[in-house]
Amino acid sequence: MDNQGVLAVISGFSGAGKGTLMRALLERYDNYALSISATTRAPREGEVDGREYFFKTREEFEQMIEHDELVEYAQYVGNYYGTPKEYVFSNLKAGKDVLLEIEIQGALKIKKKFPEAVLIFVTPPSAGELRNRLAGRGTETPEKIAARLSRAAEESKQMDDYDFILVNDEVDRCVEEMHALIQAMHARTENHKTLIEKIKEDKKQKSAFTEIEIEKIRDATRNARERAIVDVLLSTGCRVSELVGIKIEDLNHDKLVVHGKGGKDRTVYLNAKALVSLQKYLSERTDQNPYIFCGGYFVKHDTKKANKYRCSKRGEWYKIPELVSEDSHMDRGTVEQLMRRLKRRAGIEASCYPHKFRRTCATMALRRGMPIEQVSRMLGHESVDTTQIYLDINEKDLEQAHKKYVV
């Protein structure tokens, strides 16, 4: 519905100038369509079917009623008048804002049936001005003027039911105000459900893990290899492509050399948790594979062989040299599958994917006082601007930073 037009229902006292306003609106802007009514009355001289009205036989009109093809309808002086749905909604679907001039009872019926419609009531600035305008037409007898004023008094009782009241005291200003009111309806929340859901999902995707979520994920790991993957990602903020490409020779106590984008190497550091996890995992391996996170026949090729060694339940196939490949590393798809399993085991609602660990590492580092320039270097970014996109800083973070740094 995000690109759909607005159905604007215009009502007002006879002599308020609503017709003049609508004609001016159509002349100034090309995004409006004036709704054309259907009627059973005979065409008058000069009237064209589809321009002034859609002219129908009584039988045709009653079939439209039976088939629910009208937005609203009424009888007046023995003839039917109504608004065809097809014309209105085809224009709305095409992105046109549809103007429908209709009396109060019909307008309220439309609002009840189509709550998204906007109801605008046009009025002169005073009852005296309304009398002057009716008299100024030169076509009304004193009796007709009195009747119209009496009807206006009755109609005024339902002005409260309209979304907006438009005081027509100066045509040009009033036309622009009507245009502004209708265009503002495009910004209503219900018109942007798709966008809202996308933003929510984007925010969900881009947010960092909370500390509680981190601990639940760590607790959900089932072996030393899984724990090492989680802790190294959280400690270094490296990309998943960098993680799987790290070799054992790239490890120097608490330092890792990672091979980044564009063939650029950089040094990242392991915190105490990551160092302990990595050392434990590597101590369980006795194979000759050069990669820290090695590939395995268990994963890619030989499930039967893995079952033979009964190591599949906890994913500890890496402990058995026969199941470790000679020179391949784990692939990023395997890491992504692990993240989905960890999310399920941990019972967290937040999304869980490798890049979120990178974002979490950066956010946590900044919250604990690391300058953004150093965070950027840790992540291997060429620009601090890129780093800022990664960070998930909220008002609480800002408040704490202010207390620490602004004295």
Domains of the chain, by residue range, sit at 7-197, 207-405
List Cα–Cα distances, 208 to 136, 211, 351, in angstroms. Answer: 69, 9, 10
Q: Within a 10 A sphere around the Cβ of 393, how many other Cβ atoms?
A: 13
Q: pLDDT tens across 71-113, in order?
A: 888 887 788 988 899 989 999 999 999 999 888 888 888 898 8
Is the pLDDT score of 193 beyond 60?
yes
> Would the CA dihedral through 185, 188, 194, 195 be positive or negative?
positive
Q: Which amino acid is at 110?
A: I
How many Cα atoms are found within 13 Å in the side-chain-facing hemisphere of 103? 12
Residue 378 CA to residue 36 CA, distance in Å, equals 65
Distances, alpha carbon 312 to alpha carbons 40, 285, 303, 305, in Å: 79, 16, 9, 10
Kind and range of the H or E run holding 122: strand 118-123
Domain 7-197 CATH superfamily: P-loop containing nucleotide triphosphate hydrolases (3.40.50.300)
Phi, psi of 67 (to 5 degrees): -90, 10
At 110-134, the pLDDT tens digits run 898 889 899 999 988 887 777 777 7
Q: Using pLDDT thresholds of 50, 70 and 90, give the confidence band for residue 241.
A: very high
* Residue 53 CA neighbour count, 13 Å, CB half: 18
> In 8-123, which residue ranges form alpha helices assigned H by DSSP?
18-28, 58-66, 85-93, 104-113
Would you say residue 394 has pLDDT above 90?
Answer: no
User: 299 pLDDT exceeds 50?
Assistant: no
Query: Among residues of the chain, what percentage have pLDDT more than 70?
Result: 86
Q: How far apart are CA 7 and CA 22, in angstroms?
A: 14
* pLDDT classification of 399: cutoffs 50, 70, 90: low
Report how far apart, in Å, the C-alpha atoms of 277 and of each of 68, 226, 241 are: 69, 9, 20
Query: Is the CB of residue 123 less than 8 Å from the CB of residue 12?
Result: yes
pTM to 2 decimal places: 0.50
Residue 57 in tokens:
């036989």
Q: Domain 207-405: which CATH class?
A: mainly alpha
pLDDT of residue 138: 64
